[in-house]
């Protein structure tokens, strides 16, 4: 789903950026251009960022 229409940034792109080390909105702005123009996407980008960070740090259970 598109999060930032101005820059064409999807939720998948934000999640990939988090996997590559982004952990703040500033990182998303630098890497992807999120909220650089109109700023309407900022709240949605923040939500995706927070969800991705939670998923990244959640313990993974492996079946053995």
2-35: pLDDT as tens digits: 999 999 999 999 999 999 999 999 999 999 999 9
Alpha-carbon distance values, 25 to 16, 41, 58 (Å): 14, 11, 20
Q: Give the list of residues 6+ apart from residue 17 with CB closer than 8 angstroms, or none.
A: 27, 28, 31, 32
The predicted structure's pLDDT at residue 10: 98
The pLDDT value recorded for residue 60 is: 74
Confidence at residue 63, expressed as pLDDT on a 0 to 100 scale: 64
Domains in the chain: ranges and CATH: 2-57 (1.10.10.1100)
Rounded Cα distance, 35 and 13, in Å: 14
51 SS3 class:
helix
């Amino acid at each position: 789903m598109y999060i930032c229409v101005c820059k064409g940034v999807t939720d998948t792109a934000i999640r990939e950026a988090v996997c590559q080390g982004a952990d703040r909105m500033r990182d998303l702005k630098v890497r992807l251009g999120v909220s650089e123009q109109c700023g309407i996407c900022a709240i949605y980008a923040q939500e995706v960022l927070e969800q991705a960070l939670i998923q990244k740090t959640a313990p993974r259970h492996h079946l053995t």
